[in-house]
Structure 1
Amino acid sequence: MMEEMDIETLKKQVKRAKRIASEHAGELHDLVEDRLPKAYEEIPQMAQACYDACQQWAQLSAQLEQRQALEAS
């Protein structure tokens, strides 16, 4: 039962991380669409935040897949 809770918790974390990554991607998109070239200096910081959020989502997703594979076996 504890493993199931862990998987459910991990699913929630993956969902939250995906939402955060999508928000950062949207902010980056808005920068490109609406504020460039004037706000070009914001690119590195916004891109890094988006990258970090996507990396967090990828790591959590991989953990979830591993847990689900272990449970299935």
Structure 2
Amino acid sequence: MSEELDHKKELAKLKRLAVEIASEIHDIVEDTVWTNHVKMPELAKKLYDAVEKANQYKAEHSL
């Protein structure tokens, strides 16, 4: 049971990281898109990678 809880905590951590990146994208779009649009491709890649990592972890541990 403890191992399952550890996996759920790790998945929550991975999801939180993805949400933080999405929040950063949201802030740029809402407030500074005209000056910080150059950051979007890098952030989009980071978000894509973070979501893929979370989904892979979820699948590997049957969560």
- Tell me the TM-score range normalised by the shorter chain: 0.7 to 0.9
CA apart distance, 1:64: 2.3
State the TM-score, normalized to the length of structure 2.
0.84
Runs of 4+ that moved beyond 4 A? none
CA RMSD in angstroms comes to 1.5
Flag structure 2 segments of 5+ consecutive residues without an equivalent: none
CA apart distance, 1:14: 0.4
CA apart distance, 1:30: 0.7
| 1:27-54 C-alpha deviation (Å, 9 max, x unpaired) | 1111111111221111111111111111
Flag structure 1 segments of 5+ consecutive residues without an equivalent: 69-73
Task: Trace 1:35-54 onto structure 2 (pairs within 5 A).
Answer: 35-54=32-51
Residues 1:62 and 2:62 are matched in the alignment: no
Aligned residues: 63
Larger Rg: 1
Taking only the aligned residue pairs, the percentage that are identical comes to: 32
State the TM-score, normalized to the length of structure 1.
0.74
